[in-house]
Amino acid sequence: MYALKNKVQLIGNLGNAPEVRNTESGKKLARFSLATNESYRNAKGEKVTDTQWHNVIAWGKVADIVEKFLVKGSEIVLEGKLINRNYTDKEGNKKYITEVEMGELVMMGGKK
Q: Compute the distance between CA of residue 95 and CA of residue 50 in angstroms, rounded to an integer.
A: 26
9-47 confidence digits (pLDDT tens): 999 999 999 999 999 999 999 999 999 999 999 999 999
Kindly give, in sequence order, each residue whose CB lies less than 8 Å from that of residue 2, ignoring residues fewer than 6 positions away.
none
Please tell me the pTM assigned to this model: 0.84
- What are the b/e assignments for 76-110, b being 16+ CB within 10 Å? bebebeeeeeeeeeeeeeeeeeebbbbeebeeeee
- The model's pLDDT over 60-88, given as tens digits with 9 standing for 90+, comes to 999 999 999 999 999 999 999 999 999 99
Fold designation for 2-107? OB fold (Dihydrolipoamide Acetyltransferase, E2P) (2.40.50)
Report yes or no: 62 and 80 within 8 Å, Cβ to Cβ.
Answer: no
The full set of domain ranges for the chain reads 2-107
